[in-house]
Every structure is written in C-alpha cells, then in structure tokens.
Structure 1
Amino acid sequence: MSIHHRPWATILTATALILGLAGCASGTVDNAGNQSPSGSSTTSEPSGEITVFAAASLKTTFTTLAEKFEAAHPGTTIKLSFAGSADLVTQLTAGAPADVFASADTKNMSKLQDAGLIADTPIDFATNTLEIAVPASNPAAVNSLADLAEPGIKLVICAPQVPCGAATKSIEESAGITLAPVSEESSVTDVMGKVTSGEADAGLVYVTDIKTAGDKAKGIKFPESSAAVNTYPITTVSTSKNKVLADAFITSITDTEGQKVLTDAGFGTP
C-alpha cells in the first residue's frame, strides 16, 4: 500500500515546495516573517524637500551637486542657503529651520554639536586653504603675504569668527606679521566681491574662490598658507523633518561623484 502512495506523496511535496518558492518570489519577507507584496522595498526612496545651510565658499559646488541630486531623484527639492559658517550657526541655534549643515571649519560645527542640534556624527568631506586674491591687473603689485602688511595696501579679510578669518589669524601668528585690513567681512564671498570690484587691492580668500572668479581676479599662492588648512564637515540637523532625504543628500556629497565635483573646484580631500 505504501509503495503505491509514495509517488503521490512525493508529487504533493514537490508541488507545495514549488508554490512556496513562487510565493517567495512574488514578494519579500521581513524579519518578523511577514511577506510584503511584489515590488515593495524596505529601502525608502528620498522624496520631498530639504533646506541645506552651507558655508559661502561652497556656493558653486553645492549648487551643482543639488542640481545633480534633483535630476537623479525626481520629486525632490534641495533648497540652499549660503552664508558665513558662524552666521549659519547663529541662525540654527536661534531656531531657523534647516535639515543639513555644511561648515567651512570644525569649530563652528562643534558649536552646533554643543547646542544639541546635530543628528549624526559630522562627516569631513573637503579641505581648503587660503590664497591671496588681487584684481586681474594687480594694481598694487602684491606678490607675497609680506606685501599685504605694507603701508597703503587696501586689504580685505574675513572677520575672526568666520572660518576664513580664523585661518587668516592663524597664518598671521605663524608668520609673525601683523595685517591692517580696511575691512573685515562676514563671508569669504564678500571679501572676493570687494577685490573683483576694485574696492580692495587684495584679499585673503580660499583657493576655490579664486578658481570660481575666473578672469575677474588673480590668485597668488603663498607658502605660509599651509599653517591653516580648513576641514569641512557636514551633518544632518537634529530638527530635520526629512532625515531620509537629508541623509541621502549628504551621501551624494561624500560619494565618488560628489567628491569629483569638489576636487574639480579646487577643494582638497579630507
């Protein structure tokens, strides 16, 4: 009797196995053993919009990176707000809504961290160094850091609380010179603006700002700049209402393609 029924038992078992495999193929099973419909995924595709607060020196690159991200992820919007890192931290601690913060130095990022406003450990994604910017014709014949201390030179620098200003101060101390600027600006783009407009004979800005200015300004490298290399960190703000999108945007900054955009603009790698 058992000899005659064994083939049917084998067939039924095989059929059940096939149906079971087909069922698994039509969906996914989570850790609790619950099956989800075919085509569903446990990974959330970013959507919606976020606001990114970023250092002024990142304006060109982050504008490009945001456009690339939106093109790769239809249905997303990346709103960008640029200013000096210190000003951005002041806005954030005062309650300004933002999802991502990218600083031009670790000092201002630490301030945000101390205020309990970062969601994750900041990621270093770029470095930058200072360079002397002069108008294209270089009317004051500036050729070195020492020239900036000469009487009559209309020099513009960043304010001390701004990353480029803190770097300038470090270089002054390291080189043993004293600069007498005619003005101190709240962002590096403001310094560059006074140079390209001819209001200043020279300014201390980032290498990347010289590159962005094109033929509107001339850059003069100086060896003393190695005394102050700024590291740029980025993080999701703890009050973000769209962490999935914020995290995805940060990943796009730190991945291979994002890093290429930054290095092409003159940024160094962290």
Structure 2
Amino acid sequence: MTVKKIRPLAGAALSAVLLAGCGSGDADSANGTGDTSLTVLAAASLTDVFTEAADRFAREHEGVTVEFSFAGSQELAAQIRQGVPADAVVTADTATMESVAEETGEPAVIAHNELVIVTPPGNPAGVEDLTDLAQDGLRLVLAAPEVPAGRYGEEILDRAGVNVTPVSQEPNVRAVLGKVRLGEADAGLVYATDAASAGEDVLTFPIPAEQNVIAAYPAAVLNTSEHPDEAAAFVAWLGTEPARELLTAAGFLTP
C-alpha cells in the first residue's frame, strides 16, 4: 500500500481546486433538481462544528449541499473498505487516513486538537490531574484503543507513567463525553473541543503540554465519489478563512 504524505492546504492549490469545483457543470443530483448533495464521512469529534460548516459552505456554493455521517475514525475506515457511498472523509488522525490511502486522493490536514480530562459537575472523585485517574474505585471511561482518541489517551497516560483500569472503552469520543455528562463515569479523556461543546455539563482539566498529544485531522476526497469536483471544493474550503474561523471558534487549532 502506498502511503500518501498528508500536508496542510497551500493557498494556490486551494484556489485552483475551489475554482474547478465551483465551475463544474456536473451538478447531477438524483433528485433531478440540478443540485448536488455531498456525503462526507467525518470523525465524531467534528459533529458540532461541521453541522455549522455545512450551512456556511452551502451559502457560499449555490447548488451544493453537504450531509455528514459521524462516527469513530476506525468505523469510517471500515465503511470506506465496505464501499459505503460517500464523497469525502475527515478522520481524527493521520494513521487512519493512511490506512485507506488507496481509496482517497491526497489528504490535507485541516485542523488540530488536544485531549483534556473531564469530570461531572462537582467532580465527586476529586480528579485534578492524570495521576488521579489511577485511584482505586474511580469510574474512568476512555475511548477504545482502536479509536484515535483512545490511542492518544494511551500515549498520554504512558508519558505520565500512569496505569489505569477503565470501566469501559467507548467506540468514539462522543460516547465518552456522554457517559461523563450523565454521571455514569467519574472522569474521561476527551478532546478539548468536545469538553467545550458540553459547557457547564462537565468540568475540564488541562493536560500539561509535555504529556499531551496533538491530534491532526486530515480530509480527502474518496476515489469513488460521484461528485469529485464538488467534493474537492469542499475539502479545499475546509482550509479557507471562513472554515478556519468556525474551527477556531469551536476550540480547534488550525494549521
């Protein structure tokens, strides 16, 4: 398998792709209206910001709409291998994107993220840092090791020299957040953006930079897309200033 280098979008290339996508005459939607509907497979941690991004993109690209299928990145890769119809994919790590390199065009990193500790309001277990996650009886919830957030969490705990025994390992990071919000867990490791989206439903504790991991979010057009020009335009748009403003407002770091 050939592994493609993942890079941030460059200005000139981005402009060329956007022009090509907007100038396409291939808006051949199945509903016969002349509109194009794109399906984008996206990491669960992008749920809130991408819902808003779809509206912004549609306003800027008449006749093109975007619908998302959100799941853990490992689930997205499985869907691609199974041939699920879609036009583009955005994962929460480069490793997953590289695992489907033969199924995509050249990826581009559109955002970065980092993990934090979250607890329910009131923090009943008194968790404040990574070492507290090892205390006896703590109901710790993590993402499963095959999920990017799970792998990042394992790396962070290894760096800190903390051994933990989670009570569950969830299929995506949003499931981790949900258990903490509902009080079904005393603590969890989630992305900073997920913690921000939960507002006052959780308490957030940062992880020191020397122990943390920076997550990269690459986006790519799928080779099987029936709307490759429009899909390329969307991927390119994710690197434009309007998209970066949305990502930054949601707590993501941009390239």
Q: Is 1:144 the equivalent of 2:119?
A: no
Q: Give the one of 139, 150, 161 matched to 1:154.
A: 139
Residue 179 of structure 2: aligned partner: 194
SS of 2:238's equivalent in the other structure is helix
> Structure 2 vs 1, CA of residues 224 and 255 (structure 1 numbering), >3 Å: closer, same or farther?
closer
C-alpha contact (below 8 Å) 2:90/2:219 kept by paired residues: yes
Q: Is 1:43 the equivalent of 2:31?
A: no
Unaligned segments of structure 2, at least 5 residues: 1-21, 28-34
**For the residues of structure 1 that align with 2:176 and 2:143, how far apart are their CA atoms?**
7
**For the residues of structure 2 that align with 1:137 and 1:225, how far apart are their CA atoms?**
27
C-alpha contact (below 8 Å) 1:85/1:108 kept by paired residues: yes
Residue 103 of structure 2: aligned partner: 117
**For the residues of structure 2 that align with 1:163 and 1:225, how far apart are their CA atoms?**
19
Q: Is 1:107 the equivalent of 2:95?
A: yes
SS of 2:65's equivalent in the other structure is strand
Higher Cα Rg, which structure: 1
- 1:18-56 CA distances to partner (integer Å, 9 max, x unpaired)? xxxxxxxxxxxxxxxxxxxxxxxx932664111000000
**For the residues of structure 1 that align with 2:244 and 2:117, how far apart are their CA atoms?**
25
* One-letter identity of the residue aligned with 1:131: V
Residue 83 of structure 1: aligned partner: 71
* One-letter identity of the residue aligned with 1:90: A
* One-letter identity of the residue aligned with 1:215: E
Superposed, which structure 2 residues align to 1:189-228 within 5 Å? 189-223=174-208, 226-228=211-213
Q: Is 1:245 the equivalent of 2:221?
A: no
C-alpha contact (below 8 Å) 1:131/1:225 kept by paired residues: no
Residue 247 of structure 2: aligned partner: 262
Q: Give the one of 164, 167, 177 matched to 1:179.
A: 164
C-alpha contact (below 8 Å) 1:124/1:234 kept by paired residues: yes
C-alpha contact (below 8 Å) 1:53/1:98 kept by paired residues: yes
Q: Which has the higher contact order (CA 8 A, sep 6+)?
A: 2
Unaligned segments of structure 1, at least 5 residues: 1-41
C-alpha contact (below 8 Å) 1:171/1:224 kept by paired residues: no
Whichever structure has more helix as a proportion of its residues is 1
- 1:150-201 CA distances to partner (integer Å, 9 max, x unpaired)? 0011000000110000001111211111111000001000000000000000
**For the residues of structure 2 that align with 1:251 and 1:226, how far apart are their CA atoms?**
32
**For the residues of structure 2 that align with 1:202 and 1:248, how far apart are their CA atoms?**
40
TM-score relative to the length of structure 1 = 0.81
**For the residues of structure 1 that align with 2:116 and 2:83, how far apart are their CA atoms?**
34
**For the residues of structure 1 that align with 2:249 and 2:67, how far apart are their CA atoms?**
23
* One-letter identity of the residue aligned with 1:166: R
SS of 2:113's equivalent in the other structure is strand
Aligned length: 226
**For the residues of structure 2 that align with 1:256 and 1:248, how far apart are their CA atoms?**
14
**Identical residues among aligned pairs (%):** 41
> Structure 2 vs 1, CA of residues 56 and 225 (structure 1 numbering), >3 Å: closer, same or farther?
farther
**For the residues of structure 2 that align with 1:70 and 1:226, how far apart are their CA atoms?**
39
- 1:181-239 CA distances to partner (integer Å, 9 max, x unpaired)? 00000100000000000000010000000110011111111216744111110000010
Residue 127 of structure 1: aligned partner: 112
SS of 1:254's equivalent in the other structure is coil
TM-score relative to the length of structure 2 = 0.85
C-alpha contact (below 8 Å) 2:43/2:72 kept by paired residues: yes
